[in-house]
Amino acid sequence: MEKVHELISIETIQKKVKEIGERITKDYEGKDIAVVCVLKGAVIFLSDLLREIKSSRLTVEFIGLSSYEGGTKSTGVVKVTSDLTQSVQGKHLIIVEDIVDTGLTLHFLTQNLMLKKPESIEVCTLLEKPSNIAKPITIKYKCFEIPDKFVIGYGLDYEGRYRNLPYIGVLEITKD
Ligand code: IMP
Ligand code: MG
């Protein structure tokens, strides 16, 4: 059986997303920004965040990565399932991610994006589970730190489901 307990309400999320959007607006004034959204988990966060960034020089790219293969534990092997479609050379990249757990996905992604010769790369994540970090990475923009629990909702999934939940919840799976 699957049970969901609310961890972060939509009101709390929206307030924080607005704050982060305002910081990005200030930090990137006058710069060409390419926001790189990590599919699929970050799409809800992305759509709220984009509307809080005031810039006429912002473009959006998507990259598909997979390390979970559907379950609740990272396989440790990251695969690119779909790549960027435009050049990001000379642009200031902001990677938008749903959650940093071990850090392996983001470590892989920043190495990969570096080859595309951007002007700079920073990370913006909705969530971080600091207790699981295996590859230390610098996260410039972070909405929330959470305990080591499997969470779903607001874009995050369990076996592809629950992305549509409008808040962040902890998923409890019991046998019966
Ligand atoms: P990492 O490579 O271990 O940092 O894992 C990052 C990726 O694992 C994220 O982009 C998520 O897609 C997925 N992930 C990690 N923790 C959770 C969770 O609690 N719920 C849903 N997905 C998660
Ligand atoms: Mg992800």
Q: Judge if the beta carbon of residue 98 lies within 6 A of ligand 1.
A: yes
Average pLDDT score, the chain: 94
* Prediction pTM value: 0.94
In SS3 terms, 90-150 reads as CCEEEEEEEEECCCHHHHHHHHHHHCCCCCEEEEEEEEECHHHCCCCCCCCEEEEECCCCC
Residue nearest atom 16 of ligand 1, based on CA coordinates: 101
Is 60 exceeded by the pLDDT of residue 70?
A: no
Compute the distance from residue 156 Cα to the ligand 1 centre, in Å. Answer: 8
Report yes or no: 33 and 59 within 8 Å, Cβ to Cβ: yes
Each residue's pLDDT tens digit, 79-113: 889 999 999 999 999 999 999 999 999 999 999 99
